[in-house]
Amino acid sequence: MFEGFRAELVEAAGLDLFVRHGGDGPAVLLLHGHPRTSATWHLVAPLLVEQGFSVVCADLPGYGRSGKPPPAPDHAAHSKRASARHLVAAMEWLGHGRFAVVGHDRGSYVALRMALDHPDRVTRAALLDSLPISEHLDRADARFATAWWHWFFYAQPEVPERVITADPDSWYRGDPRSMGTENYAEWRAAIHDPEVVRGMVEDYRAGLTVDAGHERADREAGRRVQQPLLVLWSLQDDLEDLYGDVLAIWRSWAEHVTGHGIESGHHMAEHVPDHLARVLSDFLADTPSS
């Protein structure tokens, strides 16, 4: 995986983050979701390099080989605001003062927070399979709770870690054929690390508490994403089924939003990498150099 990329730990505002980076040109940061690592981008990242981008794939704080913040009672150490701050510092360490960001699943919440909190650094953002956390919670009904029950299970104290670490393979059920053997091996090593499991669960605990609070404060203050925003969602997943017009919800959060559904399962970077890379490349074409 990632031929021609450099892999290293970088110091990022008090936390070491594991990154892979390669290519030349305008910088793009790719952020994975749960329970993946940066390896989920192994097919997309080289295609973006071929299109003339400098690509950085990072393990989110608490995930993979990145540093694991100690849990805090208010979960602030695992907030998307804290993760965004660490990732902005990592990009600066790599020489990218300004960059575009692409986030999938849990990584999309970090990307949204980066765009809101660091508008001088983030030039544009693409969010995949995503609505703001607070929008999910404000619309939560029996259908949502049944389909997305894991949000509320992971928020429980102590129990999720014990359940997941008892048999990570049965809990997550990865497939080396669809993921790719090297991506699968890296993912499997991560989910068998109790520290990673704790970090991933803390991400969800932060989501339902401090992160939702930050989003609601943004709404009350009238803060919106000013950068161009691309929203993509998997048509084989349930975002459109639950909410109908996904873009209509995002238009209340951003000044300039476009997007559409993609014929794919949830992990679109693994399922339809060529198509996703083309869509992202078109969107990112006007990204300025850092």
> What are the residues facing 288 on neighbouring strands?
none
- The one catalytic residue among 34, 118, 266, 275: 266
Residue 56: partners with Cβ closer than 8 Å, 6 or more residues away: 19, 20, 21, 27, 28, 29, 30, 90, 91, 94, 96, 99
- Catalytic member of 105, 129, 203, 237: 105
Indicate if the alpha-carbon torsion angle 235, 239, 242, 243 is positive or negative: negative
Order across the sheet with 254-262: list the strands.
6-12, 15-22, 54-58, 27-31, 99-104, 122-128, 225-234, 254-262
Contact 32, 105 (CB under 8 A): yes
Residue 152 near residue 256 (C-beta atoms within 8 A): no
Question: Which residues make Cβ contacts (< 8 Å) with residue 209, sequence separation at least 6?
Answer: 74, 75
- Annotated catalytic, 136? no
Question: Is 266 tagged catalytic?
Answer: yes
Look at residues 232, 183, 189 and name the one whose alpha carbon lies nearest to residue 43: 183
Neighbours of 119 (CB within 10 A): 13
The residues carrying an active-site annotation are 105, 266
